[in-house]
């Protein structure tokens, strides 16, 4: 019961890593509040996980919606001990596509803006809303989802990598700014994890990606959840400002 009586917020908690993290935290004694834009999925997850899981429909790119959500959580539960900034979206495309020397396609501005809005600004919105309460408590753990691609780069993901690299930077800034209040801030950098995002890739892409996995397989959401659990717990009481790769030793090819 490493999180006994802790109150944990998890964004993007309806499915995938967010759901697995909610389940793992509940197993360790936490009271979990998840949010997601997928209302049917979020309600189904909360129902499945039982009385210690509550769902709110929240778009984390909407600053006012986030603030209202956090205030409702404080009003009902009195504190927030853990924030997991897990929510994220993909809108992959190459920066430009050229054929016979002519520009034929480029990443749409909307694709760039939407990914930055959720994957970067959403993390900012949630953390800024929660931080004052953790400061008042003189305790807290903030966990941010970045990605191995933020560290290594990846073809066709300018927007996603810009956001996830920004999350790495914010993690280190906040670890410095909030440490004096006994608030720890860390990030997880998952590799290829078998979620709906990965399953959307063509089989040929998955086959090629697996060739770069020294362990010979993709990760499972529960394996990322276990990393979040460690960093959220008192076992990681002297760890802050770090980025922990959960990638099976992924080797990025050229």
Q: What amino acid positions are annotated as catalytic residues? A: 160
Question: CA 197, CA 224: separation in Å to the nearest integer?
Answer: 15
Tell me the C-alpha to C-alpha distance, in Å, between residue 36 and each of 16, 118, 238.
12, 11, 31
Q: If you search the block for the tokens 């990638």, which residue do you land on?
A: 247
- What the block records as the tokens of 201 is 């890739």
Element (H, E) at 57: strand 53-57
What secondary structure letter does DSSP report for 181?
G
Looking at 100-209, which runs of residues are DSSP E strands? 102-106, 140-145, 183-190
Helix axes 122-137, 158-178, angle to 10 degrees: 10
């Amino acid at each position: 019961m490493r999180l006994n009586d802790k109150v944990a917020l998890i964004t993007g908690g309806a499915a995938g890593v967010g759901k697995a993290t909610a389940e793992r935290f509940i197993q360790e004694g936490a009271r979990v509040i998840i949010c997601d834009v997928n209302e049917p999925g979020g309600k189904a997850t909360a129902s499945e996980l039982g009385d210690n899981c509550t769902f709110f429909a929240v778009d984390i790119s909407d600053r006012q919606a986030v603030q209202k959500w956090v205030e409702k959580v404080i009003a009902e539960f009195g504190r927030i001990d853990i924030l997991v900034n897990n929510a994220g979206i993909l809108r992959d495309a190459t920066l430009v596509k050229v054929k016979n020397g002519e520009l034929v396609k480029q990443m749409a501005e909307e694709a760039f803006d939407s990914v930055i809005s959720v994957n970067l600004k959403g993390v900012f919105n949630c953390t800024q809303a929660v931080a004052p309460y953790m400061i008042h408590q003189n305790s807290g753990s903030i966990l941010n989802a970045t990605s191995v691609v933020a560290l290594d780069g990846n073809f066709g993901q300018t927007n996603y990598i810009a956001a996830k690299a920004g999350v790495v930077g914010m993690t280190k800034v906040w670890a410095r700014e909030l440490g004096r209040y006994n608030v720890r801030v860390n990030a997880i950098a998952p590799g290829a994890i078998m979620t709906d995002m990965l399953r959307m890739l063509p089989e040929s892409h998955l086959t090629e990606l697996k060739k770069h996995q020294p362990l010979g397989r993709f990760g499972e959401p529960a394996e990322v959840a276990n990393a979040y659990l460690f960093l959220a717990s008192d076992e990681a009481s002297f760890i802050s400002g770090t980025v922990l790769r959960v990638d099976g030793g992924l080797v990025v090819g050229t």
